[in-house]
Amino acid sequence: MTPKLEQVIHVLKWVRIEAFVGSSWVGVGRPPQERAWLANAFVAKAVLGIGTTVGLMERLMVDRALRQLCGFPLHRHLPSQATFSRAFAEFAQTRLAERVHEALIKEHLGDALIGHISRDGTAIEARERPQARTQAAKPRGQRGGRRRGTATPADLGADTPGHAHGLRPRHQVQCAGLQDELERLQAAHRHRRLWRAHCRSALQRLHA
């Protein structure tokens, strides 16, 4: 028994479709084929995913297990393709599948309310990241204190005749500072020259 056939067994036991199919024969003419067998084949066709009636008939001819599950006796011939087609058209016209489905819902669910969740999948245009706000560039101020030798706004105002007397002492102080810096540089230069001479003499003594 294949897993697919086991699935057919479970579905047939669950839906009990033979209870919704009745015979319309009243004893006149040729008796119709058993509609319950055809209804079981109708369900098996859907469960097994067989697309055509001819394909279902070919499967019933070679698969004895499926044939017995649907109710067809092994010692009798299968109904013709026209009989299968008329029966399936009758099932569709009488809404057999809808009636079975409705009966199953009433039996297993009754008056219970079924909740559904609806999600809208419409795409919404949006930026992946928020757009950065543009800020006006601020003028960069000078870091640190006033450099040595630069004039302050008060010093710039001393160019006027009324403030000329305040510019001369500051200028003299700046000149004195530059002179001191120059003397320190000269002293450092002389010190480096003496150090180099001392190193050369020490190397000469080592080689000697």
How far is 16 from 40, CA to CA, in rounded Å? 9
Q: Tell me which range, 99-103, 126-130, 148-152, is most confidently predicted by mean pLDDT.
A: 99-103
Q: For residue 34, count CB atoms less than 10 angstroms from its CB and return exposed for 0-12, middle for 13-18, buried for 19 or more.
A: middle
How far is 197 from 199, CA to CA, in rounded Å? 5
Q: Is the pLDDT of residue 76 over 60?
A: yes
Q: Is the pLDDT of residue 64 over 80?
A: yes
Q: For residue 57, count CB atoms less than 10 angstroms from its CB and return exposed for 0-12, middle for 13-18, buried for 19 or more.
A: middle
Q: For residue 39, count CB atoms less than 10 angstroms from its CB and return exposed for 0-12, middle for 13-18, buried for 19 or more.
A: buried
143 band by pLDDT with thresholds 50, 70 and 90: low
Q: For residue 200, count CB atoms less than 10 angstroms from its CB and return exposed for 0-12, middle for 13-18, buried for 19 or more.
A: exposed
What is the residue type of 76? R
Q: For residue 50, count CB atoms less than 10 angstroms from its CB and return exposed for 0-12, middle for 13-18, buried for 19 or more.
A: middle
pLDDT digits (tens, 9 = 90+) for 6-42: 888 888 888 887 777 765 555 555 555 588 888 888 8
How far is 11 from 44, CA to CA, in rounded Å? 9
* % the chain with pLDDT above 90: 6
Domain boundaries, the chain: 3-21+32-108, 160-207
User: What local confidence, expressed as pLDDT, does residue 97 receive?
Assistant: 79
Query: What pTM value is reported for the model?
Result: 0.47
User: What local confidence, expressed as pLDDT, does residue 118 receive?
Assistant: 76
pLDDT digits (tens, 9 = 90+) for 175-191: 666 777 777 777 777 77
Q: Is the distance from CB of 35 to CB of 64 less than 8 angstroms? A: no
